[in-house]
Amino acid sequence: MAHDRVRLEVKERDSCGSRSSRRLRHAGEIPGVLYGAGKPHPFSVGERELRRALSGGHGMHAILDVVLEGQQKTHHAVLKDYQLDPVRSTLIHVDLHEVRLDRPIQAQVGVELVGTAEGVTRGGLLSQVLREVTVEALPTSIPDRLEIDVTRFMIGDSVHVADITAPEGARILDEPEAVVASVLAPKLVVEEEELPAEEGEAAAEAEAEAAPEAEAEAGE
């Protein structure tokens, strides 16, 4: 799986405090740090440029060709971490990690369930408990997502990591027996009118015995 690389021009920044970061955001810039073999490089990048780079076909798994302002060297990097504004859900900080294209990396990749499970058509409920797995591959071979066809799964069946087919050149590091999703049986709701006759009669007798006691207490 070949990834298109995205060029991203950034500006080095000297100060890293919260006040400086707020000024950058007000100016439409996102603060970030590029980590690699050497010392970290604090930088800022235009919010529009960063959004464009991370909203392409490979999304958060895009390989970025980062160029620091005033330099010619290209740093191949991937998104390592990010922070979102808790109210507006917009990017407010990014961490990039420099990588070598000829060495494997590890990344969290989303798991997508496709198809309608046979158990669901029979009244069951499909519950997904694992939404990401760790994948190791060359940076250019990290998949955007992993799919599991759940069509054949019946009520009581579970989908495991072993059911995921990794693309060529990639391997999944999670335990093969880890449960990704299960098809649960529907909850049985027993209506009052569905109670057996014996139980209904016993309940009526209990109510009748309790009535005189309640009247006596009321009289006192």
What residues does each domain of the chain span? 5-99, 106-184
Cβ within 8 Å of residue 173, ≥6 positions away: 106, 133, 134, 135, 136
| Distance, CA of 13 to CA of 23 (rounded, Å) | 12
Evaluate if residue 190 carries a pLDDT over 80: no
At 180, is the pLDDT very low, low, confident or very high (cuts 50, 70, 90)?
very high
Q: Which of 19-28, 116-125, 134-143, 184-193 has the lowest mean pLDDT?
A: 184-193
The answer to whether residues 21 and 45 touch, using CB atoms and an 8 Å cutoff, is no
* pLDDT attached to residue 89: 81
What does DSSP say about strands 179-184 and 125-128: parallel, antiparallel, or unpaired?
antiparallel
Per-residue pLDDT band at 198 (split at 50, 70, 90)? low
What is the three-class DSSP state of 127? strand
Mean of the per-residue pLDDT values of the chain: 84
Instruction: Tell whether pTM > 0.85.
Output: no
Eight-class DSSP state of 186 = P
CATH of domain 106-184: 2.170.120.20
For the chain, report the end-to-end CA distance as a whole number of angstroms.
85
CATH of domain 5-99: 2.40.240.10
